[in-house]
Structure 1
Amino acid sequence: MTSLDQRPDPYPAPRPDDADDAPAASPVPDPFPVPGLDERRARLVAQTDLLRATARGADPATPVPSCAGWDLGMLLRHVGGTHRWAETVVRTRATGPVPHDAVDDVSADGAHPGLTGGDALDAWLEAGAAAFGDALGAAGPDAPVWTVAPGGTPVFWARRMTAETALHRWDAADALALAWDLDPAVAYDALAEWLEFSVLPQAYASEAEQRELLADGRTLHFAATDADAGLTVDLSGDAPTWRRTGGAAPAASVTVRGPLPALLLCVYGRRESPRTYAGEAEVLGDAALFRDWRHRASAWLRR
């Protein structure tokens, strides 16, 4: 993952629609309790355990359609390597980028030689998540560490790796035609993280790619059907912003509506597979704008 940490303020205030002296809107609280580091550690381990259960007994050579060119063994080596990469950052209190060969080299004879069988991969995933959880606990929530985007504490890594693991668990479930679901609170947190990234200029291929999305009155709204939760991306100002909107349904250029796990799959470009997840995200309004925004704002995922 490329670094996104150059922007000084990752959570810019939304641009007011009226005059500069208009009264500020009351902030909309999170629809779920904000998790502390211990809860985030537990979520990371839980998602890893669910991934292990999904893959247990499956052939590591099974193709993973949502990760082009990868098989299940490659996917699991990527997840386990990512956990170990983040663990190194937190355990060493790294102040700058850490080599990420373990993340990128997913071949059986690459950065993780010998990890080919299902049992070996299962035990390796378990050990990596446990070590990462221990490193997070030892560091505490406020220790300064390098992060790929604004944040700079172990909390960032616990949150990032939970989302990473949950999404790749979907990839494994889809490849194996198994059911997948996600706690709405975890899905909401991961969706909010994605939107936080989407307002960073470094998330785009270029500044021009971001600027071309901006236009008066242009907004995208995400409306949850399984919680009193909504999120809005505002593209009408000098730079993208996002805000929580609760259960309100503001007018928007495009509204993406569905259960929170389905909204998360949608922003990450995973297809909604009935065999995998029963929820569905419905795109209402300017679907072309949504697809364009999603593609441009997710350039960081393709680096």
Structure 2
Amino acid sequence: MGEELIWLDGMVRSRASAMADDTAMRDLAPTTPRSGAETGAWIVGNASSLVEALREAGPDASMWNPLPTMPGTVAFFARRFAHETLMHRTDAALPLGATVVIAPEVARDALAEWMELGGLPEMLVFHPHRRELLGPGRTLRVGEWFVDLTGEVMVHRQARPDDEVAVTVDGPAPDLLLYLYRRADERPLTVTGDRALLAEWVAANGFA
């Protein structure tokens, strides 16, 4: 996570017009041995620097974006990395049996981002296996969201009372978020309808 923070920090500060080299971010072998405490301090320091850079830039500052249909602004990355950091924190807490507390408003925004990104047409280009999800009668309601897989692209939008769905999954926003990110199963949630479709959709369309 620390290298990711350094990577974005540099791009925000330079208002990058293209993707910066991400070799260091993807190399998981540590370059400098650190104790657990040192690693924690290193990550917190990098996160603090990134927060400073984001605030100095402001949400509307222009910069490179990997998705041409999304706004090319600092706000995109501020939101993306807030939720990315939340999931990394969750990954650190769960193996230790620590309680994961997610503010409902943060969880709702993370769910909204998950749906907005997952429903982009280019996602079928980046992840062609997701086309296997498409077919007649394949509709879901996930919390406040409606997912329509019956056409040539995936459609994610706000649910309406008259939506006909094959499966519904509902529950508190933090529990839904952890389920969609595959950090928890559906036990805290209420599932009605085609569980197999829900499981298939989450497995194929979820973020790692």
**TM-score, structure 2 as length reference:** 0.87
RMSD over aligned Cα atoms: 2.3
Match of 1:216 in 2: 136
Tell me how far apart the structure 2 counterparts of residues 125 and 209 of structure 1 sit (CA, whole Å).
34
Is the aligned partner of 1:261 residue 2:181? no
Is the aligned partner of 1:252 residue 2:127? no
The answer to whether the 8 Å contact 1:204/1:297 transfers is no
Is the aligned partner of 1:154 residue 2:78? no
Match of 1:58 in 2: none
Tell me how far apart the structure 2 counterparts of residues 192 and 135 of structure 1 sit (CA, whole Å).
25
CA deviations over 1:6-29 (Å, ceiling 9, x no partner): xxxxxxxxxxxxxxxxxxxxxxxx
Match of 1:163 in 2: 83
What is the DSSP-based 3-state SS (H/G/I as helix, E as strand, rest coil) of the residue aligned with 1:212? helix
Structure 2: unaligned runs, 5 residues or longer: none
> 1 or 2 for the larger relative contact order (CA 8 Å, sep ≥6)?
1
CA deviations over 1:67-106 (Å, ceiling 9, x no partner): xxxxxxxxxxxx2221221112211111111112332223
Q: How many percent of aligned residue pairs carry the same amino acid?
A: 37
Is the aligned partner of 1:235 residue 2:155? no
Of 19, 26, 30, the match for 1:108: 30
| Aligned CA distance change for structure 1 residues 181 and 288 (closer, same or farther; 3 Å) | same
Match of 1:180 in 2: 100
Tell me how far apart the structure 2 counterparts of residues 256 and 121 of structure 1 sit (CA, whole Å).
38
One-letter amino acid of the counterpart of residue 91, structure 1: R
Match of 1:94 in 2: 16
Tell me how far apart the structure 1 counterparts of residues 46 and 201 of structure 2 sit (CA, whole Å).
35
**Alignment coverage as a number of residue pairs:** 206
Higher helix share: 2
Structure 1: unaligned runs, 5 residues or longer: 1-78, 224-229, 274-278
CA deviations over 1:116-162 (Å, ceiling 9, x no partner): 21221222122111111111112111111112232311111111111
**TM-score, structure 1 as length reference:** 0.62
What is the DSSP-based 3-state SS (H/G/I as helix, E as strand, rest coil) of the residue aligned with 1:262? helix
Is the aligned partner of 1:200 residue 2:120? yes
One-letter amino acid of the counterpart of residue 168, structure 2: T
Deviation at 1:204, TM superposition (A): 4.2
| Aligned CA distance change for structure 1 residues 206 and 131 (closer, same or farther; 3 Å) | closer
